[in-house]
Amino acid sequence: MGGNELEYIHNAFDSNWISQYGSNIDEFEKNLENYLGNNSFVTALSSGTAAIHLALRLLNVEECDFVICQSFTFVASANPILYLKAVPVFVDSESQTWNLCPNALEDAIKYCIQQGKKPKAIIAVSLYGMPFMAEEILQISKKYEIPIVEDSAEALGSQYKGQPCGTFGDLSVISFNGNKIITTGGGGILISRNPHFKSRAFILATQAKDKAEFYSHSELGYNYRMDNIAAGIGRGQMETLDEKIKQKRKNHDFYQELVKNSENIELFSAPNNDFFSNYWLNTVILKNELSKEKLREIFTQNDIETRYLWKPMHLQPLYKKCKFFGNNLSGTLFDTGLCLPSGTNLTNDYISRISEVLENEIH
């Protein structure tokens, strides 16, 4: 926390709107619509996962439909496919952005069409804040007329060619879970350029009540709306976003400087200036003798927390029966990668201890 979060929470108390209605929700949605630009319509929800679930509902994904999903991601990208009893088809990453590989994506689409069913959606992720290859992926989406669900849960503030992540999909998703660049505790948004999607998302997120004087329900809805307290936190957090992005990118520069001459470690960085990452997490790939387990253990001994990379979905027990297209680059990234401390509040002491460990181990 850092901005005026408490003040906005007080507004909610003063107005007595402790519910899924209230001015914080309306204002938070407006803040985000302004921030994202590009005629975005935003619906505030209880989580990013809920937003992905609703995105698939709005695209009429039904039982037994194919949905293509990036394999290298957090499990929340894929689970809503199973909520709808649809069939996930996983696609590998390319080496530039670690996101959807256009060639493998096209192979997956052709496979589904051969099976007699064009996929209903493509879930494209901006992992660790790095935008996916938007031009190539959108071109494939257009060629086969398959909509994109953009999972930019981790990528608020990132851009591709100056356009913000969260505005590339037919439907896009950003998360405000506690671990993301800004947070509402739990929360997320669904974004589109279609006002019809916004009103439908609201209806589905509030139990899908019919327009009637009594409680009448013709279709299946959910309790997925963001509440007015969480949205108050979000309003305060939005005021800190630019500063947080600066700090995240400073962390990246710090790591870049540390490892630039190492042969054992490579920092994952934007392939060129078209890609502007919020560097939500800094990740490294280890080479030669240095294993992720060993480096992690040395960090742990020095009381520094690191994490492994996301384990790809095609390697997860939950998804092991699903089709996968690609050369398993994502599996190699998982085997050799490590996430380094990337908080916006790293202390000088913590930073110098990180430097010490890295300088000892990587040269």
Ligand X SMILES: *Cc1c(COP(=O)(O)O)cnc(C)c1O
What are the catalytic residues?
180
For the purposes of burial, counting CB atoms within 10 Å of the CB of 40, is it exposed (0-12), middle (13-18) or buried (19 or more)?
Answer: buried
Measured from the CB atom, the residue of 177 and 278 that comes closer to ligand X is 177
Residues 224 and 54: beta-carbon distance below 8 Å: yes
User: 8 is written with which tokens?
Assistant: 């906005």
Q: Are 125 and 100 in contact (CB under 8 A)?
A: yes
Give the CB-nearest residue to ligand X. 48
Strand extents, DSSP E, the chain: 41-45, 66-70, 87-91, 121-125, 148-151, 159-160, 163-164, 171-175, 188-192, 265-267, 275-276, 282-286, 323-325, 337-340
173 vs 354 by CB, closer to ligand X: 173
Measured from the CB atom, the residue of 147 and 357 that comes closer to ligand X is 147
Between 210 and 305, CB nearer to ligand X = 305
Give me the amino acid identity at 285.
I
Closest distance to ligand X from the beta carbon of 280 (Å): 8
Can you tell me the distance from the alpha carbon of 55 to that of 199, in angstroms, rounded to the nearest whole number? Answer: 13
Q: Taking the complex as a whole, how short is the minimal distance between the CB of residue 164 and ligand X, in angstroms? A: 17
Tell me if 40 sits within 8 A of 192, measured CB to CB. Answer: yes
Instruction: Name the token pair of 19.
Output: 């519910």
Q: Which residues lie near ligand X (CB under 6 A)?
A: 47-49, 73-74, 76-77, 125, 151, 153-154, 175, 177, 188
